[in-house]
Amino acid sequence: MKIAVSGKGGTGKTTVSACLSQVYLKKGKRVILIDADPDSNLKTTLNIKEEITPLIELKEVIAERTQTIPGERTIFFKMNPEVDDIPEKFFYKNRNLLLGIMGTVRGGGLGCMCPENAFLKAVLRNLILKRDEVVILDMEAGIEHLGRGTTEGIDWLLIISEPTEKSIETTKRIEKLAKDIKIKNIGVIGNKIETEDEKIFLIEKLKGMKILGFIPYFEEFKKSELKGQTPWEAVPEILNYVEDIIKKMEEK
Ligand SMILES: Nc1ncnc2c1ncn2[C@@H]1O[C@H](COP(=O)(O)OP(=O)(O)OP(=O)(O)O)[C@@H](O)[C@H]1O
Ligand SMILES: [Mg+2]
């Protein structure tokens, strides 16, 4: 199963990605979790204290694999660098979990034609197309990471939505982008739901989209990060909601 998670800033992408990985790990699956948000916070949500070097900072490795010289700007580089060994060598590992952090691409973001970008995209393509672990991508409010040739490997794009007009606008924008690049399955998760009316609001506003589930608003999360707790340590029942969402995805 290869899952990409997107949605407007602050809607709960990282919380949901972390919980998805936890449910799969509990089922005994091997999981590769990728923090693909430049403004990353997955490590904090998982309460991991170890240093993890973002992939973008592996200057020497990137230069070697793309056949360039570190720091030197060039338009000549290998577009499909060898990256099979990168997760085992450079990701954080804990039992059945591998966690990789992409880091921030300078300048033109992931749209830029540069060796760093070619390297990161190759790593993602490799994870999505070649690995048999569950792969979960915690992305930003866009899907730029999913370049040509990788989208067909994505089983589900999950768009996390809060019951607000702004979040819905972003959800629709992401849905359009996802359809343009022919992502197979697009599902919405309504998060931070406090009332039945909020559910109805999302259902009505997102008519035509598949809603995979709703997750309530949990007051406890306000303090959980301060206490160094993961979301499921703060609120164990969140995993039941996420497990139901996984069941729905697997029905496909
Ligand atoms: N169901 C929920 N109930 C209450 N608070 C929540 C819920 N889900 C997420 N939050 C809180 O909302 C905030 C944003 O969550 P999270 O970091 O998962 O979102 P994000 O979409 O990854 O944000 P960013 O765009 O900054 O990466 C966090 O403080 C988190 O604890
Ligand atoms: Mg996040």
Q: Could you tell me the residue ranges of all domains in the chain?
A: 2-251
Is residue 218 in contact with ligand 1, taking CB distance under 6 Å?
A: yes
Q: What is the pLDDT, as a whole number, of residue 109?
A: 56
Type of residue numbered 46: L
Q: What is the pLDDT, as a whole number, of residue 50?
A: 94
Q: What is the pLDDT, as a whole number, of residue 38?
A: 80
Mean pLDDT of 174-196: 96
Instruction: Check pLDDT > 60 for residue 108.
Output: no
Residue 21 CB partners (closer than 8 Å, separation 6+) = 31, 33, 97, 134, 136
Instruction: Check pLDDT > 70 for residue 111.
Output: no
pLDDT category, 113, cuts 50, 70, 90? confident
Is residue 13 in contact with ligand 1, taking CB distance under 6 Å?
A: yes
* Nearest-atom index, ligand 1, CA of 17: 18
- Residue from 20, 221, 238 whose mutation best tests the ligand 1 pocket (most atoms within 8 A of CB): 221
Top pLDDT among 243 and 111 is at: 243
Mean pLDDT of 149-167: 95
Name the residue with the closest Cα to ligand 1, atom 14: 10
State the sign of the Cα–Cα–Cα–Cα dihedral 170, 176, 182, 188. Answer: positive
Is residue 9 in contact with ligand 1, taking CB distance under 6 Å?
A: yes
Indicate the range of 9-13, 25-29, 100-104 predicted with least confidence: 100-104
Is residue 145 in contact with ligand 1, taking CB distance under 6 Å?
A: no
Q: What is the pLDDT, as a whole number, of residue 100?
A: 97
Residue 146 CB partners (closer than 8 Å, separation 6+) = 4, 124, 154, 181, 183
> Which CATH superfamily is 2-251 part of?
P-loop containing nucleotide triphosphate hydrolases (3.40.50.300)
Is residue 15 in contact with ligand 1, taking CB distance under 6 Å?
A: yes
Output the CA 14–ligand 1 centroid distance in Å: 7
Instruction: Check pLDDT > 90 for residue 250.
Output: yes
Roughly what angle, to the nearest 10 degrees, separates helices 13-26 and 238-251?
80
Instruction: Check pLDDT > 80 for residue 89.
Output: yes
Output the CA 216–ligand 1 centroid distance in Å: 12
pLDDT tens by residue, 68-77: 998 777 888 9
Instruction: Check pLDDT > 80 for residue 192.
Output: yes
Q: What is the pLDDT, as a whole number, of residue 228?
A: 92
Q: What is the pLDDT, as a whole number, of residue 160?
A: 98
